[in-house]
């Protein structure tokens, strides 16, 4: 309840967690003190067991880093060792594996998009680009993992692991029982929204050719305002409980997680998939051109597993219904849904009850992690103009909080946009 951004609180919640505990958390969140992530034990524990842990070990897990489940005293997870820009796969598929900004070949030559006879062929081209990104990134990590013991020996840390003591092996020598490597995937919403836009405009309505769409994107929608508005407002988006785009998102997530989770590392462990973005939604977005979902050149990507900023127009219930169509037991390294609430939505005892019910609903439907921001866009806009008045105003970024006034204008804009369509 202090006006500080630390410590950050990672809270395990199960179906038997008392409502009084959740209500206490909800009252703190309502004040804008949002340094919490809530994670669902009823998904996390089965996910850990599914990917090799014993039930006893899974029950003793900790949430480390941002929200990555790790077995206490038995696992070195190496979270965030590699980061996959899922949205980049769309851009590469449209340009036959070539990065349009640099002209470099960054992916497989998946074919001339203009010659693809049907939507299914194009979707497979995008998925093949995701495969290639995962393969390239995991190969890179595998190339330097063997040098860990000599570059960064960790005898003191190893001494805290019973398995290292028993085997006489250091942390980097596969001393712990579990030696996995975390892989982050970013931009799920952008991929799903882009694929449905291509399917609708090019293959179903035949409103324009693939070549024409690529030209529009390369020009950042310059001179194509009507098309841009149609993409933004007439084609369904992830996070609104729409079967078509939700089905695409699930297929993309399944392809990404299956590719990651089946890949061994060099430390007697495996790569493990996660879906969150940290601040890479900004870093990745700045290096990309416009995408078919209506996102402009250089704009940030979607955060976590939720909708692209401002596009969850059917409300929180619809977003939860969309997101929980994913199988979070196949995302064992963690994920998060970012929820933005106007202060008026959590006023009074009814507001607290509604917030607790929202958390319960998301978890009952199989969601993994959830975190909140509670503020209104007018406050944020005023904070940009008068930062001296808002020195303790904080926002939840990913697994941590920052003071809003310390963020760049580019980063601040995302939070303002996220709240414009709220009450």
Taking the C-alpha atoms of residue 142 and residue 130, their distance in angstroms, rounded to an integer, is 18
Write the pLDDT tens digit of every residue in 17-46. Answer: 999 999 999 999 998 888 899 999 999 999
Determine the pLDDT at residue 5: 67
Q: What is the pLDDT of residue 414?
A: 82
Residue 86 tokens read as 């899922």
Instruction: Give pTM, 2 decimals.
Output: 0.94
What's residue 1's pLDDT?
Answer: 56
271, β-bridge pairs:
181
- How far is Cα 87 from Cα 188, in angstroms, rounded to an integer? 7
Query: Long-range pairs for 53-60 at CB < 8 Å and ≥24 separation?
Result: 53/178
Is 94:43 a contact under the CB 8 Å cutoff? no
Helices (H), 199-343: 210-218, 225-234, 243-261, 280-286, 316-323
Angstrom distance (rounded) from CA 227 to CA 296? 13
Q: Which residues does 383 contact at the CB level (< 8 Å), separation at least 6?
A: 389, 390, 393, 404, 405
Residue 423 has pLDDT above 70, yes or no: no
Per-residue pLDDT of 287-335, as tens digits, reads 999 999 999 999 999 999 999 999 999 999 999 999 999 999 999 999 9
Structure tokens at 144: 């330097």
**What's the pLDDT tens digit per position in 257-267?**
999 999 999 99
pLDDT band at 63 (very low <50, low <70, confident <90, very high): very high
Cα 121 from Cα 37, distance rounded (Å): 39
Average pLDDT, the chain: 94
Confidence band for 279, pLDDT divided at 50, 70 and 90? confident
208-232: per-residue pLDDT in tens?
Answer: 999 999 999 999 999 999 999 999 9
Residue 376 has what pLDDT? Answer: 85
Structure tokens at 413: 């804009």
C-alpha dihedral over 67, 72, 78, 80, to 10 degrees? 0
Q: Quick one: average pLDDT of 333-351? A: 93
CA-nearest of 366, 393, 365, 364 to 378 is 393
């Amino acid at each position: 309840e202090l006006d500080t951004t630390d410590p950050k609180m990672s809270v395990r919640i199960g179906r038997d967690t008392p409502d009084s505990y959740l209500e206490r958390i909800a009252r703190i969140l309502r004040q804008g003190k949002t340094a919490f992530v809530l994670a669902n034990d009823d998904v996390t524990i089965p996910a850990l067991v599914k990917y090799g842990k014993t039930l006893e070990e899974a029950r003793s897990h900790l949430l480390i880093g941002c929200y990555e489940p790790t077995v206490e005293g038995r696992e070195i997870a190496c979270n965030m060792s590699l980061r996959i820009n899922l949205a980049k796969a769309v851009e590469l598929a449209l340009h036959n594996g070539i990065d349009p900004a640099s002209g470099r070949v960054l992916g497989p030559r998946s074919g001339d998009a203009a010659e693809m006879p049907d939507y299914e062929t194009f979707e497979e081209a995008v998925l093949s680009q995701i495969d290639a990104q995962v393969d390239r990134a995991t190969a890179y990590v595998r190339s330097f993992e063997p040098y860990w013991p000599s570059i960064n020996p960790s005898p003191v840390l190893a001494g805290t692991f019973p398995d290292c003591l028993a085997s006489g092996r250091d942390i980097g020598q596969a001393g712990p029982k579990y030696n996995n490597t975390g892989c982050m995937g970013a931009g799920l919403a952008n991929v799903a929204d882009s694929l449905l836009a291509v399917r609708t405009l090019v293959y179903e309505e035949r409103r324009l050719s693939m070549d024409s769409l690529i030209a529009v994107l390369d020009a950042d929608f310059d001179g194509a305002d009507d098309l841009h508005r149609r993409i933004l407002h007439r084609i369904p988006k992830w996070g609104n409980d729409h079967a078509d785009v939700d089905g695409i998102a699930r297929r993309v997530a399944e392809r990404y997680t299956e590719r990651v989770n089946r890949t061994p590392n060099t430390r007697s462990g495996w790569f493990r998939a996660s879906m969150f973005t940290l601040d890479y939604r900004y870093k990745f977005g700045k290096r990309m051109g416009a995408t078919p979902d209506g996102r402009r050149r250089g704009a940030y990507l979607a955060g976590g597993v939720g909708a692209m900023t401002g596009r969850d127009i059917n409300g929180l219930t619809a977003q939860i219904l969309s997101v929980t169509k994913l199988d979070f037991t196949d995302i064992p390294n963690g994920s998060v849904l970012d929820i933005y609430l106007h202060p008026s939505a959590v006023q009074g005892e009814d507001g607290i009850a509604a917030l607790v019910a929202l958390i319960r609903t998301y978890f009952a439907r199989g969601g993994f992690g959830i975190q909140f921001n509670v503020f209104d866009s007018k406050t944020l806009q005023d904070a940009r103009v008068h930062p001296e008045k808002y020195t303790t105003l904080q926002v939840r970024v990913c697994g941590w909080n920052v003071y809003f006034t310390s963020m760049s204008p580019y980063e601040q804009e995302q939070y303002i946009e996220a709240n414009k369509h709220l009450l």
